[in-house]
Copies of this chain bind each other. A is one copy, B any other.
Amino acid sequence: MSQAERVLDPVAVPLSGERFSVLYRIAGDEATARARGEALVVEQTVEFPPDLLPPGDIPEQIVGRIERFRAGDDGVFQAEVSYAVETTSLELTQLLNVVFGNSSLLPGIRVERLSLSPALLAAFRGPRFGRQGLRDYLQVPDRPILSTAIKPMGLSAPALAELVYQFALGGIDIIKDDHGLSDQPFAPFGERVARCAEAVARANAQTGFHCVYMPNVTGSSPGLHDRAHEAKLMGAGALIISPGLAGLDAMRALADDDALALPLMSHPAFLGGFVTAPDNGIAHGVLLGQIMRLAGADASVFPNFGGRFSFTVEDCRAIAAASAAPLGALAPIFPTPGGGMSIDSVPEMHAVYGREVIYLIGGNLYRHDGDLAARARQFRALVEGLADA
């Protein structure tokens, strides 16, 4: 036996045979697309010259397998690739690596669908609350949930808390930090959270509502974990995090933290690189629906169609669909369209999203005649009216 054969022995443990699959969209003519597909299955797993692989389980099971290859609708090709579940270590980071680690760097490859297998689905708890859990938590049994953001950046903590108070008086269910509020000197994290949590509690005591204040805990590691727990202690009712900045797995860790146990909303900041180019990246529904859900978000913010971000209505429908599509035992989550929405947009959004949605209206709510709470009540009445219709 040559040294090469001795060194490159086969896998030492039996594989289960369980596989999950990814549907890749591949640009190029058929020959190019086929070659890209064949390179892809090596790239995502062994990254090794195929002719040098030892015979047996490695080429037969560890290397990705093209299960189907076909022409797509729009002159591109689709390759359904399966991978041995063991390649993922049953970890989110390594799952994402197998799905789109190196291939994210290859031109003309896009993840269109992710079909997880039982062992993978069992490895992820996903959202702690999900749709029903969040409805119960907020005591909003069936209408769309109302959300807004406190801003602009630059306001002091007392000024932000006053905004929270007014929005809570007006009955906005979730009053979140603008995602750019972190720990700036004009509204430091601790002071902001303490004052805003107090403000929402004071309003709830007056109204009998169950509004929550949702601070942004995105921040530097390990401060992220500390901020989340500090926020809970100070009375935050939920948390928002930008996993593109803090790491998808950092969000998963918060969701899985039994000592924290707060609803989580994900924000898509710094994730646009994946969705803005049609030939590359990850499909909107997979990234902002399925993966956010897998990573523990109870609600996933994304730019609504018709706003300033150029997501199409189909992109948004795909996210909403992925938020509730069967995914093992994982609970469905709330699509949370936002980004330049106004109260006037609500009827059009209602037609697309139905009642299983969180409406996130930010800046437009600030267009009022001196009474923010009245403007919030107007938003709430509109949504209640549509839900009853």
Please list the residues of chain A having a beta carbon within 8 angstroms of any beta carbon in chain B. Answer: 2-4, 6-13, 39, 43-49, 52-53, 57-58, 61-62, 86-87, 89, 91-94, 96-98, 100-107, 149, 151-159, 162-163, 166, 178-180, 182-187, 218-223, 225, 242, 244-247, 249-250, 252-253, 268-277, 279-282, 303, 308-310, 339, 362-364, 366-368, 370-372
B97 A179 Cβ-Cβ under 8 A: yes
* Complex partner residue of A372 from B7, B163, B276, B277, CB under 8 angstroms: B7
Are the CB atoms of B4 and A370 closer together than 8 Å? Answer: yes
Q: Chain copies in the assembly?
A: 2
**The residue from B12, B47, B87, B220 contacting A93, defined by CB atoms under 8 A apart:** B220
> Which 9 interchain pairs have the tightest Cβ spacing?
A247-B247, A104-B272, A277-B277, A46-B152, A12-B156, A101-B269, A105-B272, A273-B273, A48-B152
Which chain B residues border A269 with CB–CB below 8 Å?
Answer: 97, 101-102, 104-105
Residue among A39, A103, A159 facing the most chain B CB atoms (10 A cut-off):
A159
Nearest B-chain residue to A151, judged by Cβ: B48
By a CB distance below 8 angstroms, the chain B residues around A149 are: 47
Asked if A49 and B367 sit within 8 Å, CB to CB, the answer is yes
Q: In the complex, are the beta carbons of A218 and B58 less than 8 A apart?
A: no
Min CB distance A124 to B, Å, is: 10
A87 to B184, CA, bound (A): 6
Check A105 against B268 for contact (C-beta < 8 Å). yes
User: In the assembled complex, which residues on chain B have CB atoms less than 8 Å from the CB atom of A225?
Assistant: 222
Q: Can you sample 7 A-B contacts with CB below 8 Å?
A: A9-B156, A13-B186, A49-B363, A87-B184, A93-B220, A97-B245, A106-B309
Assuming A7-B162, A12-B187, A52-B366, what are 16 further A-B pairs, CB within 8 angstroms?
A10-B154, A45-B180, A47-B178, A49-B363, A52-B367, A53-B152, A58-B154, A62-B152, A87-B180, A102-B179, A104-B269, A104-B273, A106-B276, A107-B310, A222-B253, A245-B247
Q: Which residues of B contact A87 (CB under 8 A)?
A: 153, 180, 184
* Closest CB in chain B relative to A166 CB, distance in Å: 7
A151–B245 touching, CB < 8 Å: no
Give the distance in Å from the alpha carbon of A219 to the alpha carbon of B252 in the complex: 12
Question: Min CB distance, A39 to chain B, in Å?
Answer: 6
